[in-house]
Structure 1
Amino acid sequence: TAEASEQEFTQKFRDYGVEVVEFTQAEYDNFRAVAAADVWPALTPIIGKALLDEAVAAIGGG
């Protein structure tokens, strides 16, 4: 599954000494809100609205 794969690769990163930062749901929600307000609009002229809309839909945003 995707979750098992994520756990496996997260552990591999840790095994190689990479600090893995995990966000709380509140931190993730805040990060997402900032991205939606500041980053996504800046990407529109670069990648186009259709592609950005597709990417946002794929991650469950909107």
Structure 2
Amino acid sequence: MLNIILIAYVALCAVNGYLGRRARIGFLGFFILSLLLSPLVGLILALLFRPRGELASSA
């Protein structure tokens, strides 16, 4: 059971890294930030630090 939780946690961190790949700190920065803080905090930061035009073009 613990293995599944750990895999899900790392997978969510990887998703956050993917979302933040175009920001200044990039994929690895957001991935490590999500690992250290939490995937939820990493997701919020990844969405806050997105380039301005990216949100409008993805809708």
TM > 0.5: no
TM-score, structure 2 normalization: 0.38
Structure whose CA Rg is larger: 1
TM-score, structure 1 normalization: 0.37
Q: Which of the pair has the greater relative contact order for Cα pairs under 8 Å at 6+ separation?
A: 2
